[in-house]
């Protein structure tokens, strides 16, 4: 039984790639698959817009991945966008105040407090059990039943 390695860092620097010659698109897709297999720290995927993304743990790692893609896995050159780091915020403790929002017609009120996600919910998200695209009613029921 072979277990996959767990890493304490995640791919945070990403860039879009496209072949310089559009006829090389199948080579790019195959090359990205090979790159993802050869390096467990790299994340290769295609956005809904059709943009091909490579994400790595840092700029140097991304540069090495791009060299490997072009020289070892594709054999052709690619156009590369500037590297991007997506910044995200999180909440580390339960909020000490409740926020109120009223609907436009003033008949509905929403009271909201923020608190960190439970470790169990984080695991479910990482495992893909909770993800975009699931029917809203099913997702709501699952979140309420399993995670409070």
- Backbone φ and ψ of 46, nearest 5°: -115, 125
Q: Are residues 105 and 66 both part of a single domain?
A: no
Q: Are residues 55 and 78 both part of a single domain?
A: yes
SS3 81: coil
Domain that holds residue 116: 99-147
Q: Are residues 77 and 31 both part of a single domain?
A: yes
Domain count, the chain: 2
d(CA 52, CA 125): 23
Q: Are residues 63 and 113 both part of a single domain?
A: no
pLDDT for the residue 35: 95
Query: In this structure, is residue 130 part of a structural domain?
Result: yes
d(CA 127, CA 47): 19
Query: In this structure, is residue 19 part of a structural domain?
Result: yes
Q: Are residues 80 and 123 both part of a single domain?
A: no
- Residue where a domain terminates, one of 58, 85, 112: 85
Query: In this structure, is residue 4 part of a structural domain?
Result: no
Q: Are residues 76 and 106 both part of a single domain?
A: no
Q: Are residues 77 and 126 both part of a single domain?
A: no
d(CA 148, CA 131): 17
- List, in sequence order, the alpha helices (H) in the chain: 25-38, 59-68, 119-127, 136-147
- Within 10 A of 89 (CB to CB), how many other CB atoms are there? 4
Do residues 41 and 57 make contact, with C-beta atoms less than 8 angstroms apart? yes
pLDDT for the residue 4: 67
Q: Are residues 33 and 80 both part of a single domain?
A: yes
- Backbone φ and ψ of 95, nearest 5°: -65, 150
Give, for all 148 residues of the chain, the pLDDT tens digit: 767 667 677 889 999 999 999 999 999 999 999 999 999 899 999 998 999 999 999 999 999 999 999 999 998 999 999 999 988 788 899 999 999 999 999 899 999 999 999 999 989 988 888 888 889 999 999 999 998 8
């Amino acid at each position: 039984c072979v277990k996959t390695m767990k890493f304490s860092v995640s791919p945070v620097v990403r860039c879009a790639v496209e072949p310089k010659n559009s006829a090389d698109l199948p080579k790019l897709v195959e090359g990205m698959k090979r790159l993802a297999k050869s390096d467990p720290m790299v994340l290769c995927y295609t956005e809904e817009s059709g943009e091909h993304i490579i994400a790595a743990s840092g700029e140097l790692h991304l540069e090495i991945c791009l060299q490997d893609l072009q020289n070892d896995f594709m054999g052709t050159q690619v156009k590369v966008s500037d590297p991007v780091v997506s910044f995200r915020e999180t909440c580390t403790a339960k909020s000490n105040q409740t926020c109120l929002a009223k609907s436009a017609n003033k008949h509905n009120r929403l009271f909201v407090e923020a608190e960190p996600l439970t470790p169990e919910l984080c695991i479910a998200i990482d495992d893909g059990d909770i993800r975009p695209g699931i029917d809203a009613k099913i997702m709501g029921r699952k979140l309420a039943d399993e995670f409070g």
